[in-house]
């Protein structure tokens, strides 16, 4: 997988091309973090109580699937088969910048999910956006 130039430059500045990719527990997509950002997330995950079953599951899934990768000279990553299979990645991908991370989606799943979100959650989403931003949408 090749990162677009803009994303590649950001990752190179933030982490010298060292990233961590893990799964998203809510959606069948992957999460790519520059290494320093992942270290913050990992510390937070590790500080959760091992006694709490939900916290333990979160630790197992996110930390357990976390894979250290390095961008090559052309800004490409070789995603392991396990992660590609989880996200159902084929040839076409969609990358979404999400602040401290990038979501990696299969194009097909992204389109289906967007359609579902827009069809099923449009009214709630618009109400939430109005509450959060104070803007009338």
Does residue 131 sit within a domain?
A: no
Q: Are the CB atoms for 31 and 48 separated by under 8 Å?
A: no
The answer to whether residue 81 is domain-embedded is yes
Residue 60 lies in a domain: yes
pTM of the model: 0.84
Question: Is residue 111 a part of any domain in this protein?
Answer: no
Nearest-angstrom CA–CA distance, 137 and 130: 6
Range of the domain at 44: 5-106
The CATH number given to whatever domain includes residue 63 is 3.40.1550.20
The domain total for the chain is 1
Q: Is residue 126 part of a domain?
A: no
Write down the number of H helices and E strands in the chain. Answer: 6, 5
Kindly report, residue by residue over 44-96, the tens digit of the pLDDT. Answer: 999 999 899 999 999 999 999 999 999 998 899 999 999 999 999 998 999 99
Evaluate whether residue 124 is within a structural domain: no
Distances (CA, A) of 12 to 17, 67, 72, 137: 5, 17, 11, 37
pLDDT in tens, 115-134: 888 887 666 666 666 566 55
**How far is residue 16 from each of residues 11, 35, 84, 101, 121, measured CA to CA in Å?**
7, 9, 24, 15, 39
Q: With a cut of 60, say whether residue 136 has pLDDT above it.
A: no
């Amino acid at each position: 997988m090749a990162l677009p130039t803009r994303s590649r430059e950001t990752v190179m500045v933030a982490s010298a091309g060292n990233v961590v990719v893990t799964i998203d527990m809510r959606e069948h997509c992957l999460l790519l973090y520059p290494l320093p950002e992942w270290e913050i997330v990992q510390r937070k995950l590790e500080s959760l109580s091992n006694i709490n079953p939900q916290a333990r599951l979160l630790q197992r899934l996110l930390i357990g699937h976390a894979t250290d990768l390095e961008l090559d000279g052309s800004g490409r990553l070789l995603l392991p088969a396990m992660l590609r299979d989880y996200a159902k990645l084929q040839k076409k991908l969609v990358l979404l910048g999400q602040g401290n991370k990038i979501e990696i989606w299969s194009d097909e799943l992204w389109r289906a999910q967007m359609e579902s979100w827009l069809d099923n959650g449009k009214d709630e989403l618009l109400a939430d956006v109005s509450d959060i931003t104070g803007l009338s949408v």
